Amino acid sequence: MDKPIKQICCIGAGYVGGPTMAVISLKCPDIKINIIDVNQERIDAWNSEDLSGLPIYEPGLKEIISKTRNKNLFFSTKIKESIESADMIFISVNTPTKSKGLGAGKASDLKWVEKSSRDVARFAKGHTIVVEKSTLPVRTAEVIQEILKSAESDSSKDNINFSVLSNPEFLSEGSAINDLLNPDRVLIGGDDKEAMISLSKIYKNWVTEDKILFTNIWSSELAKLTSNAFLAQRISSINSISAICEVTGADIREVSRAIGKDSRIGSKFLDSGPGFGGSCFKKDILNLVYLAEYFGLTEVANFWESVVEINSWHQKRISEIIVKKLFGTVANKKLVVLGFAFKANTNDTRESAAITICRNLLNEGANLVINDPKVSASQIEIDLKINSKISLDNENSSLNEESGSWEHSKNISNLEIFNDAYAIIILTEWEEFKKLNWKEIAKKMVHPAWVFDSRSIVDTDEIRDAGLSLWRLGDGLRD
């Protein structure tokens, strides 16, 4: 008989754990959910009375939190009690790429997953279903199982046993709530059919049966990495073609539209941009690369590694174009950067192309003024100061002595930010950047003044009429 789930514990109140549990709490009012985290500050933010103080910005999230928080959804640091009382435990902790030791730069660091598994082994009671929610290297379930086995064989504990399932997240930041409410599929990997049915029953409260897929646990783990690798590969593919467009007179938007009409290819994930960012794509591909290398599949490893290499090259390419267009130097020139998040509708900057591009321009001596509707100055400071730990091209250098400066500007509506700027560089596709008054902006800039649009969001006629020079990614006619 499958086990009815009355209490859930989720370890990790981050971008994945928070929204996922919020949606489960909304759709399953009879299940009590405790989200726990080691970070007291984060938990306080989740519990803040003012819902704009939630630690994560995600459209639709605060509306759900306002309905379920302290009813059947609770945020705390009470690890022991929450694990003890749970029938099902989701592990949603972060798994960053290792910065040192075996597999450094590629393999995921599983120390938090291991710690969470040890906590589960220590405190769980009775039969507990443990669900891997974090994206993990293939065969991580084995690690979790092994740790849990030690608790099962501990004679001081009564009747304790575990089933480990893989249930990867496919939520995309900025549309996480919608992705959770209307998933393309829910993947459940495991070998304990009853546990799998218990988990599927939770999702069946709002997801139709045909979208719930059962696989073995390794297929589920690998499918998650492969999904992200395929999506990232499409972006590297289209970005590589944007470079060809620029030298041949083709236009990447027209090429994307034309190939996207082929139903075998499909139109999604074909927008050329400044290079993919986010916490998952690079990390997941590098995990795949590590796995392939580990099993001696060098050609496979090289194939996937090139997807990340093209992404880094592309960001460097954009930085170089900006410098070249500004007569070969940006030293002491004011450049306005619009957008710092790795995509619109999120405050997340992890692996954002803006970090690399801004650092490259700072290295060339530029004075940057950065605006992003959701990213704070303190976050930008952290990102621009720290060196990328997993850079493939070893560009770990700190800024050189002649490096430029940067400042944060909160407001673009009064247009003062554009005073005496030589160029505007659009790196994130926020709605507010699509509605700018280019005629007024042009009056404030130093001419010849440039707009570099890496997201294809500006109206080219408006820019031209305002007397501004425009560079768009993959626009061969303009170059």
Those residues with Cβ within 8 angstroms of residue 153's Cβ, 6 or more apart along the chain or in another chain: none
Tell me: does residue 183 bind ligand UDX (CB under 6 A).
no
Is residue 41 within 8 Å of 92, Cβ to Cβ?
Answer: no
Task: Kindly indicate which of the ranges 89-97, 181-189, 306-314, 325-333 contains the residues binding ligand UDX, using the contact rule CB under 6 A.
Answer: 89-97
Task: Kindly indicate which of the ranges 264-272, 378-386, 399-407, 411-419 contains the residues binding ligand UDX, using the contact rule CB under 6 A.
Answer: 264-272
Q: How far is residue 58 from each of residues 15, 43, 44, 123, measured CA to CA in Å?
A: 9, 17, 18, 32
Cα separation, 105 vs 340, whole angstroms: 24
Amino acid at 222: L
Among 32, 253, 334, 343, binds ligand UDX (CB under 6 A): 343
Q: What value does the CA radius of gyration of the chain take, rounded to a whole number of Å?
A: 24
> Closest CB to ligand UDX among 170 and 206?
170
Structure token digits, residue 139: 């065969």
Those residues with Cβ within 8 angstroms of residue 400's Cβ, 6 or more apart along the chain or in another chain: 363
Q: Which of residues 191-230 bind ligand UDX (CB under 6 A)?
A: 228
Cα separation, 426 vs 340, whole angstroms: 9
> Closest CB to ligand UDX among 43 and 417?
43
Tell me: does residue 335 bind ligand UDX (CB under 6 A).
no
Is residue 13 within 8 Å of 42, Cβ to Cβ?
Answer: yes
Tell me: does residue 94 bind ligand UDX (CB under 6 A).
yes
> Closest CB to ligand UDX among 252 and 301?
252
Task: Kindly indicate which of the ranges 2-10, 140-148, 210-218, 265-273 contains the residues binding ligand UDX, using the contact rule CB under 6 A.
Answer: 265-273
Nearest distance in Å: CB 87, ligand UDX = 20
Tell me: does residue 171 bind ligand UDX (CB under 6 A).
yes
Cα separation, 363 vs 368, whole angstroms: 11
Is residue 272 within 8 Å of 238, Cβ to Cβ?
Answer: yes
Describe the strand order of the beta sheet including 450-453 as a list of residue ranges. 405-408, 367-371, 334-338, 423-426, 450-453, 469-472
Among 46, 162, 276, 290, binds ligand UDX (CB under 6 A): 276
My answer on whether omega of the bond before 137 falls inside 30° of 0, hence cis, is no
Nearest residue to 138 (alpha-carbon basis) of 196, 17, 213, 219 = 219
Query: How many residues make up the chain in this entry?
Result: 479
Q: Which of residues 120-159 bind ligand UDX (CB under 6 A)?
A: 134-135
Tell me: does residue 5 bind ligand UDX (CB under 6 A).
no
Q: Report the run of H or E that residue 258 belongs to, with start and end.
A: helix 252-260
Say whether 28 is catalytic: no
Task: Kindly indicate which of the ranges 86-94, 212-220, 307-315, 397-405 contains the residues binding ligand UDX, using the contact rule CB under 6 A.
Answer: 86-94
Task: Kindly indicate which of the ranges 268-276, 332-340, 359-367, 445-453 contains the residues binding ligand UDX, using the contact rule CB under 6 A.
Answer: 268-276
> Closest CB to ligand UDX among 12 and 404?
12
Tell me: does residue 14 bind ligand UDX (CB under 6 A).
yes
Tell me: does residue 112 bind ligand UDX (CB under 6 A).
yes
Tell me: does residue 173 bind ligand UDX (CB under 6 A).
yes
Describe the strand order of the beta sheet including 88-91 as a list of residue ranges. 73-76, 32-36, 7-11, 88-91, 127-132, 161-166, 186-189, 212-215
Nearest distance in Å: CB 293, ligand UDX = 20
- Does residue 199 sit in helix, strand or coil? helix
> Closest CB to ligand UDX among 68 and 311?
311
CB neighbour burial string for 155-172, b if at least 16 within 10 angstroms, e if fewer? eeeeebebbbbbbbbbbe
Tell me: does residue 118 bind ligand UDX (CB under 6 A).
no
Among 3, 27, 32, 42, binds ligand UDX (CB under 6 A): 42
Cα separation, 98 vs 103, whole angstroms: 7
Task: Kindly indicate which of the ranges 90-98, 325-333, 376-384, 418-426 contains the residues binding ligand UDX, using the contact rule CB under 6 A.
Answer: 90-98
Helical segments of 270-376, H only: 281-294, 298-325, 353-363
Tell me: does residue 278 bind ligand UDX (CB under 6 A).
yes
Among 33, 270, 310, 466, binds ligand UDX (CB under 6 A): 270
Tell me: does residue 430 bind ligand UDX (CB under 6 A).
no
Tell me: does residue 355 bind ligand UDX (CB under 6 A).
no
Among 200, 279, 315, 454, binds ligand UDX (CB under 6 A): 279
Tell me: does residue 252 bind ligand UDX (CB under 6 A).
no
Tell me: does residue 12 bind ligand UDX (CB under 6 A).
yes
Which of 9, 10, 28, 280 is flagged as catalytic? 280
Among 131, 235, 358, 425, binds ligand UDX (CB under 6 A): 235
Point out the residues that are catalytic: 280
Q: Which parts of this chain interact with ligand UDX (CB under 6 A)?
A: 11-17, 37-39, 42, 92-95, 112, 115-116, 134-135, 169-173, 228, 231, 235, 269-271, 273, 276-281, 342-343
